[in-house]
Amino acid sequence: MGDIMGENRLFIDGQLVAAESGRTFPNVDPATEQEIGQVADASEADAERAIASARRAFDSTKWSTDHKLRQRCLRQLRDGLREAAPQLREQIIAETGAPLGIVENGFQCDIPIGFLDFYADLLDSYEWDTELPVTNSMGAPSERMVWREPIGVVAAISPWNFPLQSNLAKVGPALAAGCSVILKPSSETPWTATMLGRIAYEHTDIPPGIFNVVTTSNSSLIGDKLVSDPRVDMISFTGSTHTGRHIMAKAASTVKKVFLELGGKSAHIVLDDADLSRALRAGFNVCYHAGQVCALTTRFLLPKPRYEEGIEILRGYFAAIKYGDPHDRTQIMGPLVNRRQQERALRYIEKGEAEGARLVCGGGVPKHLSRGFYVEPTIFADVTNDMTIAQEEIFGPVLAAIAYDGDDDAVRIANDSIYGLSGAIVSADLERALRMARRIRTGTLNINGANYYSADAPFGGYKQSGLGREMGIEGFEEYLEKKTVAIPGYRRQGG
């Protein structure tokens, strides 16, 4: 085990500082249930300082207009993160319980650091100003231009399941666009954010106030202040749909822009011509990071004639899943992030049994582990799509297997959800899978084991899975306003 000592200070107005009250709160390792350190516990006064500094820095520095400065700072931040990567990996393992195998060179750490290259490079090629055709709509020619400008002060509110990835997916494009940022991470994973503040302080030329990090044990209090303050121009939030609804309502008072990346209950459709054994290997994914991934396909749709065959294949795969010590890089599953999440997953399992689903395997707390917030890899069969475990996001290692009767029925079941985040289709006939994909109402979709995830791919959902897109050019443009400017139309006419 490497160094897990984290940065315990806030980052406000270019300085690493303690909370004004001096208060701290504990950071707990979900695999051991032990405290690993303390971190500053910000109050409303600290949030006020962060908002004021972000507003002043955006309004009074050259950050919003100096593309080269922003590009240099993003690359400095990338280099600092790469230097700190060994320590960051250990902190992510200790804070989230994610196994080393999905942290090292994976989505939890190394890959998202590389996202900063995408946004730094984009500053060279992006068309900030474009021209529209000359118009004579008011009786005289007018030349028109569309300018793209940073939206202003952004409050980025991030989750605990993939903390560094989520932080960088918000902070990277927002800074590249020319915004100032206040990052409020989850109280479950504070160090992954405070380390960003320290690296920005030690390695970059980011002007004071442009980037701020505020950690708190009272997420609702500080979150509500950020959302309702008129000096904040945009909220970028990743988390539950329930909280997303609350943020939309609070933001309405100042009519600020809201980006939301919310929950999912995605369907994995195995068509009747698929190699069932190969297609169902993806069942492992339900246990990836203990099921704490919004885009996981947790509803497995199996053709009725092959349903029981599929259940037995899944049972065999789940029996082979190893989990325990997060430092074992052969594992994909660790604990849930805290006791509250563990108990929540267990209540959903009880609900599944009470509503008539058949428990195939798992369903409880593992007997071979004496500590840690673990839940056994769990499969439910005989699930109908109106059951609670088919409709609500569990955020635990629980798979719901649903039988369908024909392609139209599979599409109906997949779309019968308030969510529309992701999905998967497996078929021996690629064209058939593509035709079905056109009918699935989700923001992302994998076919035959392919994976959409990369810095240039927009990610987000339909319906109650969110508003807007993260990553890609589309994610960058979330942080921009568009200004249309008209001048007398003489230049292009030689006048």
The domain spans of the chain are 10-262+465-483, 266-447
Catalytic, 261? Answer yes
Average pLDDT of the residues in 171-193: 98
DSSP class of 207: P
| Beta pairing class for 480-488 and 266-270 | unpaired
CATH superfamily of the domain spanning 10-262+465-483: Aldehyde Dehydrogenase; Chain A, domain 1 (3.40.605.10)
pLDDT in tens, 120-131: 999 999 999 999
Quote the CA–CA distance of 413 and 404 in Å, as a whole number. 8
Q: Residue 138: is its pLDDT beyond 90?
A: no
Average pLDDT estimate for 325-352:
96
Question: Mean pLDDT across the stretch 192-208?
Answer: 98
pLDDT of amino acid 467: 98
Mean pLDDT of 147-157: 98
Check residue 104 and give its pLDDT.
86
Chain CA centroid to CA 51, Å: 23
Q: Is 350 a catalytic residue?
A: no
d(CA 185, CA 52): 19
CA distance 448 to 427: 7
Could you tell me whether strands 34-40 and 466-467 are parallel, antiparallel, or unpaired per DSSP bridges? unpaired
- Structure confidence at residue 3 as a pLDDT band (50, 70, 90): low
**Can you give the pLDDT at residue 495?**
44
Is residue 4 scored above 80 in pLDDT? no
Residue 1 pLDDT class (50, 70, 90 cuts): very low
For residue 491, pLDDT over 70 is answered with no
For 60-102, what is each residue's pLDDT tens digit? 999 999 999 999 999 999 999 999 999 999 999 999 999 998 9
- Give the DSSP H or E segment for 343: helix 339-354
Q: What is the pTM of this model?
A: 0.95
The residues facing 484 across adjacent strands are: 146
Query: Cβ neighbours of residue 162 under 8 Å, at least 6 residues apart?
Result: 96, 107, 108, 112, 289, 293
pLDDT value of position 461? 97
Q: Which residue of the set 7, 188, 261, 478 is catalytic?
A: 261
The DSSP bridge partners found for residue 132 are 144
Query: Which tens digit of pLDDT belongs to each residue from 426-456?
Result: 999 999 999 999 999 999 999 999 999 999 9
Q: What confidence score (pLDDT) does residue 106 get?
A: 79
485 — alpha (psi -120 to 50), left (phi > 0) or beta? Answer: beta
- The pLDDT > 70 percentage for the chain reads 98
Residue 124 burial (C-beta neighbours within 10 Å; 0-12, 13-18, 19+): exposed
The DSSP call for residue 153 is: E
pLDDT at 117: 97
394-416 residue pLDDT tens: 999 999 999 999 999 999 999 99
| Residue 262 tokens, joined | 């919310």
Mean pLDDT, to the nearest integer, of 148-163?
Answer: 98
- CA–CA separation, 307 and 319 (whole Å): 19
**Mean pLDDT across the stretch 221-225?**
97
Would you place residue 105 in the very low, low, confident or very high pLDDT band (cuts 50, 70, 90)? confident
Task: Say which of 73, 109, 287, 294 is annotated catalytic.
Answer: 294
Domains 10-262+465-483 and 266-447 share a fold: no
8 Å CB contact between 239 and 262: yes
Helices (H) and strands (E) in the chain, counts: 15, 22
Tens digit of pLDDT for each residue in 280-338? 999 889 999 999 999 999 999 999 999 999 999 999 999 999 999 999 989 999 999 99
Residues above pLDDT 90, as percent of the chain: 94
Where does 266-447 sit in CATH, by number? 3.40.309.10
E strand or H helix that includes residue 466: strand 466-467
